[in-house]
Amino acid sequence: MYEPIPAETEKLMSATNRVRAMVLLLGCCCVPLTGCSNPARDRMIGRWEASTELTEEDTAALMPTDNPIAAALGKVLLQKARAETQWEFAADDSVTAAVTWLGNAKTQTGSWRFLGGDSASTRLEIAFENHEPFEVNLAFSGRDNFEAASIVMHDVQLNRPIKFKRVITTP
């Protein structure tokens, strides 16, 4: 019939069961972590640049004036004006954006958050220091090019798509 298990064997079985339970618990904790990397988020990490022709609307937003002479000067400058923009998204969720226009450079830092996306598009929330956060939708064409819909940066909203290309992939 049934014979009692010796105390030493029972202790050994109990210790073995505890080790099994611990391995199972660690495995359950680690398996979800292996899927935390999101390719749609990860592809944002790096430095991106865009060169943009400015419109009259952009110039009016950058240099608001009621002075007709200043407005006319703005139109002349506009004919040669290009804005060079550079964004760098870091893995630690920080973002740096720099804009150079007519020799004047302005840089802002802040944070970014991945809101969603797939292989063709990505939606981000960007919050620059001392500014309200804003959302931006990005449409990708390949791994190293995206088009941003409307962008609000440095209190100026550019209401047209801007094409960015990858400059540096940050590991």
Q: What is the pLDDT of residue 33?
A: 41
Per the prediction, the chain carries an average pLDDT of 75
> Within this chain, do residues 158 and 133 fall inside the same structural domain, yes or no?
yes
Tell me the residue range of the domain where 4 lies.
Answer: 1-32
Structural domain contains residue 113: yes
Structural domain contains residue 13: yes
Question: Over the stretch 67-99, which tens digit does the pLDDT of each residue have?
Answer: 888 777 776 666 666 778 899 999 999 999 998
CATH of the domain at 50: 2.40.128.20
Proportion of the chain above pLDDT 70, given as a percent: 60
Cα–Cα separations (whole angstroms), residue 14 to 23, 32, 90, 141, 171: 14, 28, 48, 58, 46
Give the Cα separation of 79 and 23 in Å (integer): 68
Structural domain contains residue 126: yes
Question: Over the stretch 93-111, which tens digit does the pLDDT of each residue have?
Answer: 999 999 887 778 889 999 9
Helix/strand/coil for 13: helix
**Do the beta carbons of residue 128 and residue 108 sit within 8 Å?**
yes
Structural domain contains residue 93: yes
Structural domain contains residue 161: yes
Q: What is the CA radius of gyration of the chain?
A: 27
Question: Over the stretch 110-125, which tens digit does the pLDDT of each residue have?
Answer: 999 999 988 888 999 9
Cα four-point dihedral sign 33, 38, 43, 44: negative
> Within this chain, do residues 5 and 46 fall inside the same structural domain, yes or no?
no
Structural domain contains residue 121: yes
> Within this chain, do residues 152 and 132 fall inside the same structural domain, yes or no?
yes
> Within this chain, do residues 44 and 26 fall inside the same structural domain, yes or no?
no
The DSSP symbol for 6 reads: P
> Within this chain, do residues 11 and 44 fall inside the same structural domain, yes or no?
no
Specify the DSSP element, H or E, that contains 46.
strand 46-53
Structural domain contains residue 50: yes
Structural domain contains residue 155: yes
